[in-house]
């Protein structure tokens, strides 16, 4: 029976890595009811993956368009081409849509807003959730570019991700024996997140950039650490002030200078949480900045929950601050 105090939401792609995190967050949210899991197969249900989950109805994917109007929100944690195919089928229904894929991030479908929190405080009812690498970079750089604290033409971004970033489907390069003990640069200078980074740095900070950008596959499961380097004539206190001002009302960013013996916030401290951790230091007018997120949380599922919260006039961090 539907709990009237809670909004019924449904998931598509719940069996994937980000979909499972999303399911956990929805189940823990005080104002959401996980009322349906759409699936292309009847072989698996949510309890097979999350044994303590309640009995959530499994709905055949072919019923998506017919049943969409029963829900407050549909979350798509599906591959790009699947979201691109399924979402137009439900856009005529009165249902909010939050898509974790890259299909609608760069204005290919009018009506979607780009849900980077806390930078996009007003949303339309169709939301394109940002990419994981992109989120780690934008959260670090928007405040500094807006305040003109770094030289935009000197930017180098060296980003590293755990293997869940590539999703659950089988690929040779993701075999344990390929990934373990390795560090693989890939899509050098041509990762699909680079245009998303430059586009949204410009739209949120007003500054054009053309950064070096390399991504690496690392031998751990979760987390992204982006090393970001730039020339600067700013002092460490200026960087701290820019982050303090930008994130004064947003508890999901932690930042600290490592100039004065402070400790670098490492990846293990952020995995499993909805936070972004920024650590920085300046040496000889060169900024070294490290942005860490959990790719499945702030990079995907918890940011989708932030967007749902904003769509429902709640603070973005509702139900997420408890995650340590």
Ligand X SMILES: NC(=O)c1ccc[n+]([C@@H]2O[C@H](COP(=O)([O-])OP(=O)(O)OC[C@H]3O[C@@H](n4cnc5c(N)ncnc54)[C@H](OP(=O)(O)O)[C@@H]3O)[C@@H](O)[C@H]2O)c1
Q: In the complex, which residues of this chain contact ligand X (CB under 6 A)?
A: 13-19, 40-41, 61, 77-80, 82, 100-102, 131-132, 164-165, 167-169, 295-296, 299-300
Sign of CA dihedral 229, 231, 237, 243: negative
In the complex, least distance from residue 270 CB atom to ligand X, rounded to whole angstroms? 14
What are the E-state strand segments in 100-151?
112-114, 126-128
Contact (Cβ atoms closer than 8 angstroms) between residue 23 and residue 34: yes
Contact (Cβ atoms closer than 8 angstroms) between residue 165 and residue 295: yes
Point out which residues pair with 279 in neighbouring strands.
Answer: 256, 290
Q: Whose Cβ is closer to ligand X: residue 196's or residue 287's?
A: 196
Q: What is the largest CA-CA distance in the chain?
A: 63
Cα separation, 131 vs 100, whole angstroms:
8
Structure tokens at 69: 């109007």
- Of all residues in the shown chain, the one whose CB is closest to ligand X is 16
User: Nearest-CA neighbor of 208 among 219, 218, 200?
Assistant: 200
How many Å is the Cα radius of gyration of the chain? 20
Structure tokens at 293: 């997120």
In the complex, least distance from residue 50 CB atom to ligand X, rounded to whole angstroms? 13
Q: Whose Cβ is closer to ligand X: residue 78's or residue 232's?
A: 78
Q: Whose Cβ is closer to ligand X: residue 84's or residue 246's?
A: 84
Torsion of Cα atoms, 26 then 28 then 32 then 38, to 10°: 30
Q: Whose Cβ is closer to ligand X: residue 36's or residue 299's?
A: 299
In the complex, least distance from residue 256 CB atom to ligand X, rounded to whole angstroms? 25
Cα separation, 184 vs 218, whole angstroms:
7
In the complex, least distance from residue 103 CB atom to ligand X, rounded to whole angstroms? 8
The catalytic residue positions are 132
Q: Whose Cβ is closer to ligand X: residue 100's or residue 201's?
A: 100
In the complex, least distance from residue 111 CB atom to ligand X, rounded to whole angstroms? 19
């Amino acid at each position: 029976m539907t709990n009237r105090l809670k909004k019924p939401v449904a998931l598509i792609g719940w069996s994937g890595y980000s979909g499972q995190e999303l399911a956990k967050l929805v189940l823990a949210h005080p104002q959401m009811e996980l009322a349906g899991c759409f699936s292309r197969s009847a072989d698996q249900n949510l309890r097979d993956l999350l044994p303590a989950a309640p009995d959530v109805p499994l709905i055949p994917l072919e019923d998506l368009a017919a049943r969409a109007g029963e829900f407050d929100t549909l979350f798509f944690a599906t591959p790009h081409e699947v979201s691109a195919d399924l979402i137009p089928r439900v856009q005529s229904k009165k249902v909010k849509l939050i898509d974790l894929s890259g299909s609608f991030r760069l204005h290919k479908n009018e009506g979607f807003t780009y849900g980077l929190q806390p930078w996009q405080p007003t949303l339309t009812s169709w939301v394109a959730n940002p990419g994981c690498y992109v989120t780690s970079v934008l959260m670090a750089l928007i405040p500094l570019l807006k305040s003109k604290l770094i030289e935009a033409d000197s930017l180098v971004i060296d980003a590293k991700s755990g293997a869940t970033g590539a999703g659950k489907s089988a690929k040779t390069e993701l075999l344990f024996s390929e990934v373990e003990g390795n560090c693989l640069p890939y899509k050098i200078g041509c990762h699909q997140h680079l245009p998303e980074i430059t586009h949204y740095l410009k739209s949120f900070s007003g500054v054009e950039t053309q950064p070096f950008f390399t991504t690496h596959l690392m031998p751990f499961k979760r987390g992204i650490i982006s090393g970001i380097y730039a020339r600067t004539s700013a002092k460490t206190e200026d960087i701290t002030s820019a982050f303090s001002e930008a994130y004064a009302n947003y508890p999901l960013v932690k930042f600290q200078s490592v100039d004065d013996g402070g400790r670098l916030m490492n990846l293990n401290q952020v995995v499993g949480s909805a936070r972004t951790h920024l650590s920085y230091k300046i040496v000889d007018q060169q900024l070294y900045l490290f942005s860490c997120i959990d790719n499945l949380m702030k990079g995907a599922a918890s940011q989708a929950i932030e967007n749902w919260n904003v769509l429902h006039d709640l603070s973005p961090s509702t139900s997420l601050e408890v995650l340590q």
